[in-house]
Amino acid sequence: MSRPAAGIAATVLAFSLPAVAADTNVDVRANIKGTCVIDQVTAVEFGDLQQGTTAPDRTAPGSVRYWCTKGLVYTVSISNGSNASGSIRRMKGIATTNSTEYLPYTLTTTAPASSTGVGPGALVTLTLNGTVKGTDYNVLSVGQLKDTVVVTIAP
Amino acid sequence: MRARIGVAFLALALSASADQASMDVGAELIGTCQIDRVVPIDFGDLEQSRNSPNRTAVGAVLFWCSKGLRYKIKADDGLHSSKGSRRMKGEGSVNVDEYLSYDLRPRFSEHDSGMGPLYPVLFEMEAEVRGENYDPLSVGPLRDTVVVTISP
């Protein structure tokens, strides 16, 4: 009598043995990299400077269009250019007639030195205004002058 | 020698009846699935532009199941899903309220039979984020956690 009972018990035990599942956490990660990208540059171009007995000061606008990642704090810096004398920016003559001459200029901007990005969908335009004095270019030789300023937008 | 005599005597005293029984010897291998290793799905740095490409990343679960055991693999919707879309959540100070949705798809079948512990299986999952979704996001890390279950 006891054998069938044992048999039933064994059968029940066999069916109750669980199949063991396994689970685990899988992380999904990403990082939005803080980026500043300059999209467009418009040079500061004074064009032809015409000398005269009372030559006026001349201004010329330039701009740098850029964007920075939303939420990214960045700074804007403008170098003194390739031909500065101390803190005075200068264009240098690039023609044979004026290669030893310089024309000082100032560069101003109303943009804050630092700000926070709003993402690639919202371009920011940094306007730069260059000014040369009539008294400075009135004494120069004929020919082209040039300088290169580095604008850095840095996180 | 003494022990043998004693046994013989006892047998005679019990009306000399014999009996026999069959005794089963049984065992059952429990169907088991076990995870050995997990490779997270890491997109790394997502670099924005005005027209960023979609990006993919692959993660994997290395596991085995008992030989002959039919199993199926299931990945849940993660911690931050919305309307059936899995999403990573910002975990930086700047992007804590932002989400980045992603698609997750297996590279192989989610149903199969185990081959035993000596033959682990690498189950790879490919995730994809769209450029148009991460371009407007703020700087910082994002994360989600998906539970992968391998069940018989």
Ranges of each domain in chain A: 36-154
Q: Please give the residue of chain A at the shortest CA–CA distance from B138.
A: A70
Instruction: Tell me the CATH class for A36-154.
Output: mainly beta
Q: What is the pLDDT of residue B107?
A: 85
Given a cut of 50, whether residue A6 has pLDDT beyond it is: no
Mean pLDDT across chain A:
89
Q: Please give the residue of chain A at the shortest CA–CA distance from B21.
A: A3
Q: What is the pLDDT of residue B27?
A: 80
Query: Which residues of chain B register pLDDT less than 50?
Result: 1-11
CB contact under 8 Å between A32 and B134, yes or no, is yes
Q: What is the pLDDT of residue B133?
A: 97
Confidence of residue A73 (pLDDT cuts 50, 70, 90): very high
Given a cut of 50, whether residue A43 has pLDDT beyond it is: yes
Render pLDDT for A75-108 as a digit per residue (tens, 0 to 9).
Answer: 999 999 999 999 999 999 999 999 999 999 999 9
Distance of CA B5 to the CA centre of its chain: 63
Compute how many other C-beta atoms are within 10 angstroms of the C-beta atom of residue A96. Answer: 8
CB contact under 8 Å between A22 and B150, yes or no, is yes
Over residues A13-38, mean pLDDT: 84
Q: What is the pLDDT of residue B143?
A: 98
Over residues A23-35, mean pLDDT: 96
Compute how many other C-beta atoms are within 10 angstroms of the C-beta atom of residue B36. Answer: 14
Q: What is the pLDDT of residue B16?
A: 67
Regarding pTM above 0.80, the answer is no
Most B CBs within 10 Å, among A3, A11, A17, A29, to test the B interface: A29
Contact with chain B for residue A12, Cβ under 8 A: no
* Nearest C-alpha neighbor of B135 from the set A28, A67, A73: A67
B145 touches B79 (CB < 8 A):
yes
Contact with chain A for residue B19, Cβ under 8 A: no
Which residues of B are less than 8 Å from A28 in CB distance? 40-41, 57, 59, 78, 86, 88, 102, 104, 127, 143-146
B55 min Cα distance to partner chain A (Å): 10
> Long-range pairs for A39-43 at CB < 8 Å and ≥24 separation?
A39/A65, A39/A66, A39/A67, A39/A123, A39/B50, A40/A64, A40/A65, A41/A65, A41/A151
Q: What is the pLDDT of residue A12?
A: 40
In the stretch 54-73 of chain A, residues with CB closer than 8 A to chain B read 67, 69-72
Alpha carbon distance A121, A21 (integer Å)? 47
Render pLDDT for B76-96 as a digit per residue (tens, 0 to 9).
Answer: 999 999 999 999 999 999 999
Domains of chain B: 31-151 (2.60.40.1090)
Q: What is the pLDDT of residue A18?
A: 58
Q: What is the pLDDT of residue B15?
A: 56
Segment among A25-29, A129-133, B84-88, B104-108 with least mean pLDDT: B104-108
Share of chain B above pLDDT 70, in %: 89
Given a cut of 50, whether residue A146 has pLDDT beyond it is: yes
Q: What is the pLDDT of residue B22?
A: 83
Render pLDDT for A105-128 as a digit per residue (tens, 0 to 9).
Answer: 999 998 888 999 999 999 999 999
Q: What is the pLDDT of residue B5?
A: 46
